[in-house]
Amino acid sequence: MEKYECTMCEYTYDPAKGDPGRGIPPGTSFDDLPHSWTCPKCNAGKNMFTLVEE
């Protein structure tokens, strides 16, 4: 699954890890994150993330 990077603080969302601290289990794709999900580091919204080209 594809990783996404926060354009503000460069935090990378890795679907393999999810965001367990806020109830997002490993294996959750970026698209499947709720709209209310925000960057764990800087709180930027989902729309501030861009796809990481591997």
Partner 1 sequence: MNPVEIVPGIQWVGVLDTQLRVFDVIMEAKHGTTYNSYLVRGRDKVALIDASKAAFAETYLETLRPAIDPAAIDYMVCNHLEPDHSGALADVLDVASKAQVVVTKPGRALLRAILNRDVKPTIAAEGDRIDLGGRTLRFISAPFLHWPDTMFTYLEEDQILFSGDFLGAHYCDPRLFNDLIPNYDEAFQYYFQVIMRPFKEYVRQALDKIASLPIKVVCPVHGPVLRHDIGRYVDLYRQWSAEPPASKKKRVLVFYVSSYGNTERMAHAIGRGICDAGADAKVVDLTKVDVRAMLDDIEAAEGIAVGTCTINGDALEHAWSLLSSLTTIKLKDKLGATFGAFGWSGEGPLMLAERMKGLRFRVPEEPMRVQLVPSDADLKACEEYGKRLVAAL
Sites of contact with partner 1 (CB under 8 A): 7-10, 42-44, 48
Shortest Cβ 47–partner 1 spacing (Å): 11
Q: Which is nearer to partner 1, 29 or 50 (CB)?
A: 50
Sequential DSSP letters for 1-54 = ---EEETTT--EE-TTT-BGGGTB-TT--STTS-TT-B-TTT--BGGGEEEPP-
Q: Which is nearer to partner 1, 5 or 14 (CB)?
A: 5
Q: Which is nearer to partner 1, 1 or 51 (CB)?
A: 51
